[in-house]
Amino acid sequence: MRVLIWIGAAAAMVGAQTIEERIGEAVKAMEPRLVECRRDLHMHPELSNREERTGKLVAERLRALGLDEVRAGVAGHGVVGVLKGGKPGGVVAWRADMDALPIDESKLNVPYKSTVKGVKHACGHDAHTAIGLGIAEALVKVKEELPGTVKFLFQPAEEGAGGAASWGAKQMIAEGALENPRPGAIFALHVGTHIPVGQMSTTDNAASAASGAVAIEFQGKKAHGAYPYQGIDAVAVASQCIVALQTIHSRRLSSQEPSVFSLGTIHGGDRRNVIAESVKVTGTVRTFSDKVLDQYEAMIHQTLKGCTGGMGAGYRLEFKRSYPAMMNSPSLNEGARPVLERLLGKGNLVTVGPGMFAEDFSYYQRQVPGVMLGLGVANAAKGLTAGLHTAEFDLDEDALAIGVKAGAHVVVDYLRRSGQ
Ligand SMILES: [Zn+2]
Ligand SMILES: [Zn+2]
């Protein structure tokens, strides 16, 4: 009898557990496997659009978890998984990127060192993939109570083309990753070395930069250095134009819009006593607004046309756009803040300003409202302070469980609120 009463009480306790508590238990149980998964991915990094092993591993794990749909081979080696909750509700997506960088880490002294010479997970995408799989596992455990559908996007080629004409997030969207079902919101996280482990960050509105790669060739006419009037001096033309280009930022664009325009290289001429026929200059534009990027392209053209034309010279301009700026949805952030503060403890969710890095998560945010969170992975006491994209970069693996819990809580909370 007493035993029966005890069993009854235990059952009632299980029934009384919140989804968050059950997620917490699931994460606790999976912690060693999370670390193992991240280390396995770290030891087998794959460059952009070559994530064959990683994509296969992800698809196999999602199938083994029993997701309702798993579609592999999206945008190359990408994988889309769908988990349908037992209760009706909206659709939310979680994105993780999978590719590594052409950086050598042979000098890093860790047991899980990259086994591929010259390739390293230096942007934490190994952690992103392990966390994405962890979120899927945790949510499978609460599938029956889940009020809606969760879509998992494991994306290739965030770091670049890898030889493809279209790649990464853009190609995932082109291949229908956001359709059938279409999510009402999308979330992701990126590891951050500027934040200590235990903390997370978020940014309202512009979170990363839109950038343009600028290449200019000033075209003059060769002549003997003693007879400059017989030629057109590309060095003199470039000098005038470079100064004139600085007035785009200082005199013509709104002072309310932050941007930088840096010219990083200049090469031209053949000999000290020959009037230069050609001078090549390259640089970068960074801004948080697509409109400002458009203005830069138009104004660089306009300035070069007037400036070179006035001196009888010509020019050629190449303006190549990278990813658009990430725009985090303030209302999604507002919704996610309380749940993250509850999880992390007061003061551990920090609001940060935008960074001048680029991130192709911005393409999803052009389709549906989205937020990318920052996950603290730095730990000065353990010597883990090296920045992303460096040979020395490594992360505090305690952040993995935090990332899974945060992701799972944010997703569940969004579904709950969207169903109200
Ligand atoms: Zn990166
Ligand atoms: Zn990254």
Residue 277: what residue type?
Answer: E
Ligand 2 centroid to Cα of residue 248, in Å, is 31
- At 162 the pLDDT is 81
Which ligand has the minimum distance to the alpha carbon of residue 361? 2
pLDDT, tens only, 18-39? 999 999 999 999 999 999 999 9
The catalytic position among 112, 296, 323, 363 is: 323
Q: Do β-strands 274-275 and 205-206 pair in parallel, antiparallel, or remain unpaired? A: unpaired
Q: For 255, which DSSP code?
A: T
- Mapped onto helix, strand or coil, the DSSP state of residue 1 is coil
Q: Which amino acid is at 396?
A: D
Q: Is 294's pLDDT higher than 80?
A: yes
Contacts of 151 (CB under 8 A, 6+ apart): 80, 81, 82, 83, 91, 92, 93, 94, 181, 183
Query: Running DSSP on this structure, what letter comes out for residue 93?
Result: E
Coil vs helix vs strand at 225: coil
Q: How far apart are CA 191 and CA 197, in angstroms?
A: 10
Q: Could you tell me which of 395, 368, 397 has the C-alpha nearest to residue 94? A: 368
Edge-to-edge strand list for the sheet holding 69-74: 69-74, 78-84, 147-155, 87-97, 185-196, 370-378, 200-202, 349-351
The 3-state DSSP class for residue 374 equals: strand
Is pLDDT above 80 for 216?
yes
Catalytic residue among 46, 51, 397, 414: 397
Percent of the chain whose pLDDT exceeds 90: 90
**Cα of 339 to ligand 2 centre, how many Å?**
25
In the block, which residue shows the tokens 């392990």?
A: 130
- pLDDT-derived band at 131, boundaries 50, 70, 90: very high
CA of 100 relative to ligand 1 center, distance in Å: 8
* Closest ligand by atom to 129 CA: 2
Tell me, in angstroms, the distance from the centre of ligand 1 to residue 317's CA: 28
Are the C-beta atoms of residues 85 and 136 closer than 8 Å to each other? Answer: no
* Ligand 1 centroid to residue 62 C-alpha, Å: 25
Query: Taking residues 242-256, what's their average pLDDT?
Result: 96
- Render pLDDT for 47-77 as a digit per residue (tens, 0 to 9): 999 999 999 999 999 999 999 999 999 999 9
Residue given tokens 């064959």 in the structure block: 52
Q: How far is the CA of 192 from the centre of ligand 2 (A)?
A: 9
Topology of domain 20-208+326-418 in CATH is Aminopeptidase (3.40.630)
Query: 40 — alpha (psi -120 to 50), left (phi > 0) or beta?
Result: alpha
Distances (CA, A) of 362 to 49, 54, 166, 205, 255: 19, 23, 15, 11, 24
> Between residues 356 and 203, which one has the greater pLDDT?
203
**Ligand whose nearest atom lies closest to the CA of 191:** 2
Instruction: Read off the pLDDT band of 9 (50, 70, 90).
Output: very low
Query: Please, what is the Cα angle at 342 between 340 and 344, to 5 degrees?
Result: 65
Mean pLDDT of 333-342: 97
> Catalytic annotation on 296?
no
**pLDDT, mean of residues 313-317:** 98
Mutual angle of helices 52-65 and 125-141, in 10-degree steps: 10
Whole-number Å distance between alpha carbons of 28 and 133: 15
> Is 323 a catalytic site residue?
yes
Q: How far apart are CA 152 and CA 178, in angstroms?
A: 10
Q: Would you give the DSSP letter of residue 382?
A: G
The closest ligand to the CA of 159 turns out to be: 1
pLDDT digit string (tens) for 80-107?
999 999 999 999 999 999 999 999 999 8
Q: What is the mean pLDDT of residues 227-233?
A: 98
pTM of the shown model: 0.87
Kind and range of the H or E run holding 206: strand 205-206
**Rounded (5°) CA angle 400-403-409:** 140
Question: What rounded mean pLDDT belongs to the chain?
Answer: 94
Ligand 2 centre distance from Cα of residue 21 (Å) = 30
Task: Specify the pLDDT at position 420.
Answer: 65
The Cα 82–Cα 179 span in angstroms is 11
Residue 217 CA, ligand 2 centroid: distance in Å:
32
Q: Which ligand is nearest to the CA of 125?
A: 2
Contacts of 250 (CB under 8 A, 6+ apart): none
Its CATH class, for the domain covering 210-321, is alpha beta
Output the CA 32–ligand 1 centroid distance in Å: 26
Domain boundaries, given as residue ranges, for the chain: 20-208+326-418, 210-321
